[in-house]
Amino acid sequence: MKQKIFALLAALCLLAGCAGKTEPVAPVVDPAPPTVDPTPVTPTEPSEAEQAEARLRERIAGMSIEEKVGQMFFVRCPEMGATEDVAAYHLGGLLLFGRDYKDADGGWLSAEELTAKLESYQAAADIPLFIGSDEEGGTVTRASRDPKLFAQPLPSPQELYAARGMDGLAAKTLDYNKQLLALGINVNLAPVCDVSTDAGDFIYARSFGRDAAATSEFVTAAVGAIRDAGVAAVLKHFPGYGNNTDTHTGVAIDKRPYETFEQSDFLPFRAGMGAGAPFVLVSHNVVECMDAALPASLSPAVHEVLRETLGFDGIVITDDLAMDAVKQYANGEAAVLAVLAGNDMLITSDYQNDIPAVLAAVADGRIAESDIDAHVLRILRYKQAQGWIE
C-alpha cells in the first residue's frame, strides 16, 4: 500500500514540474501606497489676550529703567511741582490727601477746579496715572469732605449698614465712587478688610466691626460696588490688622498664631479677591508667625503667603513708607526692601530719594531688572484692561 502512495506522489511531482531543481516562488508584495503630501497645519492665531500680553511685554522691553521704576511709585501728591514731577520721574500714580482738595488759600476746590487739576497731571504722564484717594467712609474720607464735591462725607460702613442694610451700603458706595470717577479719581483705597469686633482696637472704627464671615460679606458688596463704578478697589491692610496699635506712630507687633489668620483674617481678603479687587495693600505690622524680623510690607515671607497661599496675582502695594513703623529703614532702604519683598507699587512721600535708591539697587544687581519688569507688567495689565493704553 505504501509503495502505491509513493508512486502516486512521484507521478504528481513530475506532472507539476517538481523534478530536479525548482525555482522559489516570489512572495507577493502589495504595491506601495501612493505618496500623499501631508495636510499643512495652519498656525493657531494668538488669542486677543495673548496679543495684548505680547504688546505689553514689547512695550516694557522698550522702556528705560527709569520709566519702569517710576511706574512702581504711587506717590503722595506733592504740594508744589506735581505736574513737573509726574513727567520727570515717570510716576505710576498720585495719592490725594485733604490738602489736595483745597486751593492755595485753603478754600475747597469745586468739581471743575479739581477735575482740571487732575487732568493736568494726566496730561503730563506718558502712561496714564492711577489717581487715588482714601474714601473708606467715616473717620477716613478725603474727597467727600469737600462740601463743593459731595453733600456730606461718606458715612462709615458700620453706620451705612445699620441705617440701610447691605444693599443700601452697596448702593451708597456705588454712588460715591461714581462721583469719584467723574472727578478723575480712578483708585479708592478701600475697603478695609480687617476683622475687628472690639471697640477698643485701633482699627475698629474703620472696620465693619463684625466677625470674619460678616466682614467678608461686606467686602464682597463694597468691592462689587467700587468695581461697578469703574474705580479700582484696594483691599487693606494685609494680612489683617487685628488688635494692633497704630503703625502711623510706631512699630506694631502681632503675636497671634497663624491659625487665626487662616480661620479669620484671610477670609475677607479672599472674598475681595474673588469679587475682582485689583489691589492689595500690605500693612507695616510685624506679624511674628510669618516673619518676626521685618514689617509685613517689607517681608518676602508675607508676600509669599499673599501670592502662593491666597493666589493673588494683582497689584500688591505698600502702606505709606513715610509712616513711623518703617522709619528705621532710612535713605531709601525701605523702598529697596519693599521691592525685594515683592511689592509692585510703593506709596511714599519721599519719592525724590526712594526712586534713585531703587535705581541704584538695580544698577548694582541687588534688584534684578527682570523683577522690575514683572512688577511693571502687573501694573500695565490693569491700565491696559481699563483701555488707558493700547
Query: Which of the residues are catalytic?
Result: 248, 319
Cell of 138: 467715616
Distance, in Å, from the CA atom of 168 to the CA atom of 174, rounded to the nearest integer, reads 10
Q: Cell 483708585 sits at which residue?
A: 187
> Of 317, 304, 238, which Cα lies nearest the Cα of 271?
238
CB 334 within 8 A of CB 342: no
Exposure on the CB side of residue 7, measured as CA atoms within 13 A: 4
Q: Cell 510690607 sits at which residue?
A: 297
Cis peptide upstream of residue 257 (ω within 30 degrees of 0): no
Element (H, E) at 221: helix 212-228
CB 320 within 8 A of CB 347: yes
Residue 253 CB neighbours (<10 A): 12
* Triad 75, 76, 81: Cα angle to 5°: 90
Residue 387 neighbours by CB under 8 Å, 6+ apart:
none
Positions of E strands within 181-230: 187-188
Question: In angstroms, what is the C-alpha Rg of the chain?
Answer: 34
Residue 348 forms beta bridges with which residues? 75
Q: Is 344 helix (H, G, I), strand (E, B) or coil?
A: coil
DSSP letters spanning 235-282: EEEET--TT---TTSS--EE---HHHIIIIIHHHHHHHHHTT--EEEE
Element (H, E) at 132: strand 130-133
Looking only at the bridges linking them, the beta strands covering 315-318 and 279-282 are parallel
Distance, in Å, from the CA atom of 143 to the CA atom of 137, rounded to the nearest integer, reads 10
Cis peptide upstream of residue 155 (ω within 30 degrees of 0): no
